[in-house]
Amino acid sequence: MSLTYEEVILKYEPVLGLEVHVELNTKSKMFCGCATEFGAEPNTQTCPVCLGMPGALPVVNQKAIESSILIGLALHCSVTPFSRFSRKNYFYPDMPKNFQISQYDEPICVNGYVDVEIETEEGPKQFRVEIERVHMEEDTGKSLHVGGATGRIHGADYSLLDFNRAGIPLVEIVTKIVPGTGKYAPEVAKAYVAELRDILRSLGVSDVRMEQGSLRCDANVSLRLIGAETLGTRSETKNVNSLRSVERAVRGEMIRHAELLNRGERVVQETRHFQEDTGLTRSGRSKEQAEDYRYFPEPDLVPVEPDAAWVEILRVSLPEQPTLRRKRLQEEWSVPDKEMAAMINADALDIVEATVEFGADPTRARGWWLGEISRIANEKDVSIAELAITPVDVAEIVALVARGELTDKLARQVVEGVIAGEGKPSHVMETRGLKVVSDESALMAAIENAIAAQPETAEKVRSGHIPAAGALIGAVMKETKGQADAARVRELLLAHLGQ
Amino acid sequence: MITRSAHEMATALEAGDTTSEKLTQEHLDRIAAVDGDVHAFLYVDTEGALSQARGVDARRQSGEKVGPLAGVPLALKDVMVQHGVPTTAGSKILEGWRPPYDATVVAKLKQAGIVILGKTNMDEFAMGSSTENSAYGPTHNPWDLSRIPGGSGGGSSASLAAFEAPLAIGTDTGGSIRQPAAVTGTVGVKPTYGGVSRYGLIAFSSSLDQAGPCARTVLDAALLHEVIAGHDARDATSIDAPVPQVVKAAREGNVKGMKIGVVKELNGDGYQAGVRSRFEESLELLANEGAEIVEVSCPNFEYALAAYYLIAPSECSSNLARFDAMRYGLRVGDADGASAESVMNFTREVGFGREVKRRIILGTYALSSGYYDAYYGSAQKVRTLIMDDFKRAFNSADVLVSPTCPTTAFKIGEKANDPLAMYLNDIATIPVNMAGIGGMSLPCGLAPEDGLPVGFQIMAPAMQDQRMYSAAAALEASLLTKWGAPLLSQIPALGGSK
Amino acid sequence: MSTLSRADVANLARLARIEMTDQELDDLSSEMDVILSAVARVQEVATSDVKPTSHPLPLRNVVRGDVVTPSLSPEAALSGAPASEEQRFRVPQILGEEA
């Protein structure tokens, strides 16, 4: 018995909780001087400290602390006067020390919020997502599972560990529970992560590339009957690695919970894994007994007590807030509200801004990204950022059109070619032979042919019935395979027919 | 030459009376002759030591200015990692591991031209007071081979007493430098916590562990202290301040006007008669040298042992989690189809000895949810109380003193099956670690009833290590005058010739 | 004062990843009782007005600059590995959550 989303929200109210892990873009790791380059050869960025060798000791990266404070400040948190690292003790092969150094009950920042705006049927609506804490920790190594049919952990014969990622600084941002989003829970979750990503990007503290795992979201979802006071049992969905997935995961979990509850079954409090291909979640291997992390203050490190002056220096360096930036860009580009919302919703703001920076007119840049390019992205079921076309390409195309070297129609083919991986726009134009026919004698020949073929239509135009010219222009365009500038054809045709 | 002090050896090297290579070879010969009986060493790095010695000789010959201990050999406790040299911390789980890096202390020793002879035996992961918990068999006390040399650093102290090395490095978590020094008639110093880098010291209990010098004289200890001490950016708990002037203090050895506080709670019941009488005699000698002896009370010290046996196991349960058969060390049970988890379980079962497992289980319990406050949390409060006791005591005394241990060396096997009796050995040394202050032990005679060495403990406030060297040097000089020769001249001959 | 049953010790051994024989579990549970009754004394003086000390030093804010320092060579990093393959540490199959 499968439920529709509409059926779910008629009966239940969702409560959200979001935990976002952000890999900081420090040059060196959290507790040692190893480099943090993404994609390096395995185990080339490791040392006794991040391999958890006997005798090695951690020392905190100052930049990581400052980045964490910046994040806290940007999220309207208070920076705690005393914070500490603890050890979270559990065994896992990709965790070199078999404990993770993590802040526990004394995090660096607490109590903030993020306001997000989403489009609803009643117009734009704002939600406040409250932040419980921002804390620092270290990442684990990466495992490669070998053997077995699936290439997954289950059924693998053995695993190969690369510790380049081990010890990369992570900041975890945990929301308080988010009630009251109603049917908009999936959109709010997505908007929150998007907003957080924009804030983090504006701070310059992380690459925030979800597809590379430098921003990872765990979504906690529970349902309760509308009007009920007590919270339902929550599930925690991990591996949600794109904005779209955040929305899908929340929606999917809401439906799954509701189906269970409707059948009179219980929601199990567990970790689930989001599967990008199906959009469904899969249960993590449930543990027979609960873990007991045995947290205690990390004795190898001393407390972090940011003094007021340090915090103030960081506060002054905070960049423009994304909401303010959006307002500014909307004004600069004179974008109507509705289209601005569409642009934000399509996550196209940065890409459009970059295109404008490369010289494109804002309206045209927006038109391409939200129009043709978004259409192709939708067809391919990917985001516009994932396509092979870049802001430089789009700026070039806009310029070519402006110079009359391409018509809009030809330009669409160029866009298609660039996305298909055929190369830069100029290259695509050349190989596909897409160029405005500007040779006027060739055009005149085509016009003569058209008039000869449709003498009656030509006569109508001569006698002042201008709209009839359309059929002739069409014929010319057909003959030139669409490579002529229609406006110029029209001009020449009308002049030729005495108009 | 091998019975001389490190300082005398250094002087002879400087004068060109011998070379480091010769000196090193003499010690290697001595090790070959007696270590079959003593078993102070887990690994003798013959080639490495000789090549290092030749290097120092060459530097000296070329006119280069070398450090005050350059060319003098040293025994390194196996808990310190040394690049390329087998390092086990006395455990099966690390058998065959050759570290790819040097501990900061080791780097400093090499820098100073000190020749590292090899790695000394110890209780597994420094957990013990007798060196009986080594996975590689016990070390024997050169004073009486049927007795323990103390622990955990029994190998280091025994190597000094057996004239296998004039200098050694120890580590002290609850007394592992001072207690072995006491029962072998040698000098051992636990510097202020943070005074010597812990980078490369295989952690037992991170908030208590401290490396320090072991030697046969106070001056030798001070010379070695200055080599290994100092701030290290790789250790976040290292103190960024000038090293206390311990060599100067050891040379001057002055106690005139010094207030020496006798800790009431660290004497009396439970302390062997001969230990008490030697301790009392030493107090008299210090008074004769112009010190003012006062009594101080530290009422919370009686809880120190209990708190220690919660804090140290808790920290070790976490520190030793890394020995999991994945990245280095022993791997057991890696059969087809075995999981990583079962390989970890079997490796840790086989790789760890009984005492280590006992403490891991105790620590796991003390940190577990629901018990944290009652055990670990309470132990940390006791730590505060002990620090307060010290603070008060140091208001009325410059240094504090006590016997280093309640008894002289006991027989091997005597306490092996009674962990609590074994733990009591550290009753006088543990408070120092809990408070992170400095403490040292020097020999103050032989107990009349068994003819075995007795240790005299001196404690000083944090970063005032020079005070204990002053007092120790003064006492050492008085005792030497009284005895006419160093205590170790009375040690029975071992297999080889002295 | 709490006592530890055999099952309690077995659970601790599981958390600590140490396989134990029945004999060991029995021995340890009785030893733990003795040790715990001795160490539980800390509770006599650990009153609520006493602040816990987790570290003997009053140090604060000890940090390092964000500077890259040389890593080990992969050969050195893997030199102690019980097994390695493709410049990675080879470990037995991991049963557990997919990270």
- Test the B interface: residue of C21, C27, C32, C39 with most B CBs within 10 Å: C39
**DSSP codes joined into one string, A21-55:** EEE---SB-SSS--B--TTPPTTSS--TTTTT-TT
Greater pLDDT, B43 or A153: B43
Q: Do C57 and A302 touch (CB under 8 A)?
A: yes
- Test the B interface: residue of C4, C53, C98 with most B CBs within 10 Å: C53
The whole-number pLDDT of residue A417 equals: 93
Residue A137 main-chain phi, psi, to 5 deg: -160, -175
Note whether residue C38 is domain-resident: yes
Q: How confident is the model at residue C87 (pLDDT cuts 50, 70, 90)?
A: very high
pLDDT at B226 over 80: yes
Note whether residue C61 is domain-resident: no
Torsional sign, CA B277, B283, B286, B288:
negative
Q: Looking at residue A457, which CATH number applies to its domain?
A: 1.10.10
Distances (CA, A) of B58 to B48, B51, B53: 15, 11, 9
Note whether residue C86 is domain-resident: no
Note whether residue C21 is domain-resident: yes
Amino acid making up residue B135: A
The whole-number pLDDT of residue A472 equals: 87
Expressed as residue numbers, the domain containing A414 is 322-432
The whole-number pLDDT of residue A480 equals: 81
Same domain, A414 and A467: no
Judged by a CB distance cut-off of 8 A, whether residue B310 touches chain C is: yes
Expressed as residue numbers, the domain containing C11 is 6-45
Q: How confident is the model at residue B336 (pLDDT cuts 50, 70, 90)?
A: confident
The whole-number pLDDT of residue A457 equals: 87
Express each pLDDT in C47-80 by its tens digit.
999 999 988 888 999 999 999 999 999 999 999 9
CA distance B75 to B43: 10
pLDDT at A343 over 60: yes
Judged by a CB distance cut-off of 8 A, whether residue A227 touches chain B is: no
CA distance A382 to A275: 15
Q: Which domains does chain B have, with CATH numbers?
A: 6-301+383-490 (3.90.1300.10), 302-378 (no CATH)
Burial of A482 (C-beta count, 10 Å sphere; 0-12/13-18/19+): middle
The whole-number pLDDT of residue A289 equals: 60
Distance from CA of B121 to the nearest CA of C (A): 21
CA distance A271 to B184: 57
Greater pLDDT, A210 or A192: A192
User: Which of A196-205, B159-168, B383-392, B394-403 has the lowest average pLDDT?
Assistant: A196-205
Note whether residue C67 is domain-resident: no
The whole-number pLDDT of residue C2 equals: 59
Q: How confident is the model at residue A124 (pLDDT cuts 50, 70, 90)?
A: confident
Distance from CA of A51 to the nearest CA of C (A): 8
Compare CB distances from A292 to B97, B206, B369 and report the shortest one's residue: B369
Distance from CA of A312 to the nearest CA of B (A): 25
CA distance B57 to B18: 10
Average pLDDT, chain B: 96
Same domain, A270 and A371: no
Percentage of chain A modeled with pLDDT above 70: 97
Greater pLDDT, B320 or B424: B320
Q: Do C16 and B385 touch (CB under 8 A)?
A: no
**Segment A31-55 mean pLDDT:** 97
**Structure ipTM:** 0.96
Greater pLDDT, A210 or B4: B4
Q: Chains with 3 or more CB pairs closer than 8 angstroms to B?
A: A, C
CA distance A449 to A446: 5
Q: How confident is the model at residue A498 (pLDDT cuts 50, 70, 90)?
A: confident
Give the A:C interface size as CB pairs under 8 Å.
145
pLDDT at A135 over 80: yes
Q: How confident is the model at residue A287 (pLDDT cuts 50, 70, 90)?
A: low
pLDDT at A492 over 50: yes
Most confident of A101-115, A143-157, A417-431: A101-115
Compare CB distances from B364 to A51, A99, A294 and report the shortest one's residue: A294
**Segment B321-331 mean pLDDT:** 97
The whole-number pLDDT of residue A150 equals: 58
The whole-number pLDDT of residue C99 equals: 41
Same domain, A76 and A202: yes
Angle at C16 between CA A216 and CA A52, to 5 degrees: 55
Same domain, A62 and A126: yes
Same domain, A23 and A134: yes
Same domain, A329 and A283: no
Q: Do C42 and B371 touch (CB under 8 A)?
A: no
Q: Among residues A292, A315, A338, which one ends one of the domains?
A: A315
**DSSP codes joined into one string, B125-183:** GG--SSSTT-TT----BTTBTTB---SSSHHHHHHHHTTS-SEEEEE-SSSTTHHHHHH
User: Which of A484-488, B133-137, C84-88 has the lowest average pLDDT?
Assistant: A484-488
Same domain, A252 and A163: yes
pLDDT at B350 over 60: yes
Do the strands A142-146 and A158-162 form a parallel or antiparallel pair, or are they unpaired?
antiparallel
| Whether the Cβ atoms of residue A48 and residue B101 lie closer than 8 Å to each other | yes
Note whether residue C89 is domain-resident: no
The whole-number pLDDT of residue C1 equals: 47
User: Which of B358-372, B438-452, C83-97 has the lowest average pLDDT?
Assistant: C83-97
List Cβ neighbours of B489 (8 Å cut-off, separation of 6 or more). B3
Compare CB distances from C46 to B343, B344, B378 and report the shortest one's residue: B378
List Cβ neighbours of B390 (8 Å cut-off, separation of 6 or more). B298, B400, B431, B435, B437, B459, B461
Angle at A41 between CA A37 and CA A46, to 5 degrees: 70
| Whether the Cβ atoms of residue B232 and residue B134 lie closer than 8 Å to each other | no
The whole-number pLDDT of residue A84 equals: 96
Note whether residue C72 is domain-resident: no
Domains of chain A: total: 3
Q: How confident is the model at residue B457 (pLDDT cuts 50, 70, 90)?
A: very high
CA distance B165 to B77: 12
pLDDT at A288 over 60: no
Note whether residue C29 is domain-resident: yes
- For residue A57, the tally of other CB atoms under 10 A from its CB is 24
CA distance A304 to B104: 25
Same domain, A247 and A355: no
Q: How confident is the model at residue C95 (pLDDT cuts 50, 70, 90)?
A: confident
**Segment B465-469 mean pLDDT:** 98
Of A155, A118, A150, A388, the residue nearest A277 (C-alpha): A150
Most confident of A234-238, A418-422, B452-456: B452-456
Same domain, A133 and A253: yes
Same domain, A423 and A444: no
What HEC string does chain C produce?
A: CCCCCHHHHHHHHHHCCCCCCHHHHHHHHHHHHHHHHHHCCHHHHCCCCCCCCCCCCCCCCCEECCCCCCCCCHHHHHCCCCCEECCEEEEEECCCCCC
Same domain, A88 and A140: yes
Same domain, A142 and A238: yes
Distance from CA of A194 to the nearest CA of C (A): 23
CA distance A108 to A83: 5
Domains of chain C: total: 1
